[in-house]
Chain A
Amino acid sequence: MNAILEMRGISKSFPGVKALSDVTFTVDEGEIHALVGENGAGKSTLMEVLSGVYPHGSYEGAIVFDGEERRFRDITDSEALGIIIIHQELALIPLMSIAENIFLVNPPSRFGVIDRDAVERRSRELLATVGLDETPDTLITNLGVGKQQLVEIAKALSKKVRLLILDEPTASLNEADSAALLDLLVEFRAKGMSAILISHKLSEVARVADRITVLRDGRTVDTLDCRSGPVEEDRIIRKMVDRDLKHRFPERVPDIGEPVFAVQNWSVYHPLHVDRQVIKNVNFHVKRGEIVGIAGLMGAGRTEFAMSIFGQSWGRNISGRATLRGREVDMSTVDRAIDAGLAYVTEDRKHFGLLLAADVRQNITLANLDGVASNGVIDDIRELRVASDYRSRMRIRCSDVYQEAGKLSGGNQQKVMLSKWLFTDPQVLILDEPTRGIDVGAKYEIYCIINELADAGKSVIVISSELPELLGICDRICVMHEGAFVGEFTKSEASQEKIMRAIMRKGDRRP
């Protein structure tokens, strides 16, 4: 088999850090090559060197593509050869149509005038290829993340892609959309396209990849071949973290008490489409010291459910009864919900969770400023002590508590958010995708924190799209589908198949 890409002895330094040292990486023609490693291992830097974000001369080593050494000056050089990268944060323009986005650069045109018929026709072809059932004039903003991802791929295909680089393509996709996306990759491979897949989700890596290269601390640790036989996930993890993670989930003996928090007949309508009932009269409860998982596909209404409970931060016409220890509580605003003992840790750290430009200390005390103030005046010493205390308890890795929150890694940002909510001393914590986009080691630490919370008698609700995670840490898993609960399993009876079946069965019954 011919190598389409060879990266030889790549080294790249930033002031004070050696991001890559002597990395060698090859991709064969018609191969899906997975690149895995913890956050900060150098995956993204390597891909940025490849795509010309860092131009020739700013790194050491050689890039050979199609048998010739290439010296890319910028990203247009690499795109011209068919090396297309799809970033984790999608680069689509929300208020433009699918077709406009696909042909954003170099649309088919005659004498500088865009040929609308050609755009329309080719968009349809491309959408058919990626299996997206939408018209080309649909606006991006009306599509879910899964479909947006497919538009990105269609866009890549429009550029005659030979090597497609996908950076965490399934990070925000549910199981079904992820599976569809991976199937698409396999399909393209059959047609001879090569792909580099960067992913934290080892199960999908193991499923589609021909070879897996593991990066650690800017070095190639190993390249594992899956074509001869399946590679165990544990083996990959061991290579990634250089330690034997015997258990991906920490052990815990649950000590579950009486019901603490419950909602009955909870109903929520969409804030814009007034007649669309998003949460359909559901009942839900959580006990003392219990970890309850909410599983479901993207768009099932899990985040909407959580946010509507938490101070009615989502939706309108919210009705139903919320009780804490049997007594009805008023949770019509966020501060009332906080006072009642609820905390909601958002799935979207950057947009809903952190003040990125503020320091760690200010983020930690934000939801409970009165806890560090007297008569409305902040006691900076008390505030510092609180922040330093959480920093050591949660093992937040930062230079000091005055470091900007935006400069921390995903895992440490998550810990800052957890600290912020723990400082409000909640009885019930709702954690929405608590490990999204963070690496294996940090995940384990987050699981430990969740366990400690439950052991301390708190009630924890975990919303997650990663089923193994829910199965690993929850005492009970409720399955949500289209705004209603369609199944509930205890830890012992739950399995991925059962949960997916609960969702699918319900899906089949739809008219």
Chain B
Amino acid sequence: MSNPIIEFKNVSKIYADGKDAALSDINFTVDQGEFACLIGPSGGGKTTILKIIAGLEKATTGEVKKPAIIAMTFQGGALFPWLNVYENASFGLNARNRLLNGEEKYSEHKIKTETLNYVKMMGLEDFINKYPAELSGGQRQRVGIARALAVDPQVLLLDEPFSALDAKTTAELHDDLIKIWRTTEKTIVIVSHLIEEAVSLAERVILIKDRKVANIFKIELPYPRREQGLTYHQDVMKIRREFFK
């Protein structure tokens, strides 16, 4: 039984210059606890959808249902270069804490414990005092994910998090992300332009083409998927055909 936590109903987005629609009549849902992937060619509108969910952009028309607490990671991690790993990872939690009142507020101890918990989960405990310039691309992305998870979001959004990473680091982060998803049972929405990545990670792949939802694919393979051989490649090929049509 479906329990949508994100719902797009006839959503369109036209930027202020009014030339072209960034999104046109988008309809889809993401269920509670689901791992969804938005995939499609560059400029198709994937990131715009993610930004609308995150509240960074507003839909011009249509209806968007989304939960209150959403966290997002960006390409390259988007870390603050003047903060160390711990300070970056606790940034979101500290910001959220300032919005809370009275008894709702977290104590310093709680903030520290929560942050360290996710820093450890991402394997960064030995890098707590390092600055972003001293980290590899993969480590920066891990800090970005720890920062997002620390606020205990209902939905975690990831905007092409692996686009600048090498194959080995990407594969490691794929495994970590699946582990986090299973452990925390968070709803995850990821944007990618790689079909193999989408099939490796997501339960549903939403293909965005020409600013519209072109198709939605349900992937029912067990994890880890790259080891599923023929069936994995069949799913990849099915999306590829639609992608290039």
A in complex with B: no
